[in-house]
Structure 1
Amino acid sequence: MTSFDDRERAFEATFARDQEMAFRITARRNRLLGQWAAALMKLTPEETDSYAKGVVQADFEEAGDEDVIRKLVGDLTAAGVETDEATVRRALDERLVEARRQLMEAQ
């Protein structure tokens, strides 16, 4: 029975580590996405940092990426930046690749 228990604990540890990495990648992606949007809105470095943190926080409103996409499209449109949902989704995908790369290099 101990072999089974050991395997179960190892599986649980792997699962927890994978979930933590997925969370970190998503948070990094959202921060990079916030920085991208802030550059389009021509925010100052201080405003950019604050805005990027706000984008990370927006992801906690509901499951999935729709809350982040809605925030960015709304903020960019309000700032007078010509954009649409497809552009934001493409930027989100690009930042996901960059976030993964950054975290893999950091390990």
Structure 2
Amino acid sequence: MSLSLTDPDLRALLAGTLADGAVDGAVICLCAAWCGTCRDFEAGFRQAAAAHPRVAFRWVDIEDEADALGDVDIETFPTLLVGGRDGAVRFAGPVLPQPGQIARLLHSLGL
């Protein structure tokens, strides 16, 4: 199943992250503690967050925060959810587990 940019559960997750402060957008990583790829990616995700202070970054363990995901089914890790300040989901899908992917994605989305 592919993730829909209009999925209400993804929009709600994004809205909750954006509510934390005045930022230009948000990047949410949907991962799992048992996933070795996710564990390896986390340090780079944290570095990307430090490099983009005007963007809210959030790490979501899909099992610990299953209620927040509603009916969203994550099949590939890591999966990123990226949205703008307006609450619109601009990207939702798996990415290569390389921190540089986040910067390229943000740039391509104008964030």
Structures share fold, TM-score greater than 0.5? no
Structure 1 or 2: more helix by fraction: 1
Give the structure, 1 or 2, with the largest relative contact order (CA under 8 Å, sep 6 or more): 2
Structure 1 or 2: more strand by fraction: 2
Could you tell me the TM-score, scaled by structure 2's length?
0.30
Which of the two has higher C-alpha Rg? Answer: 1
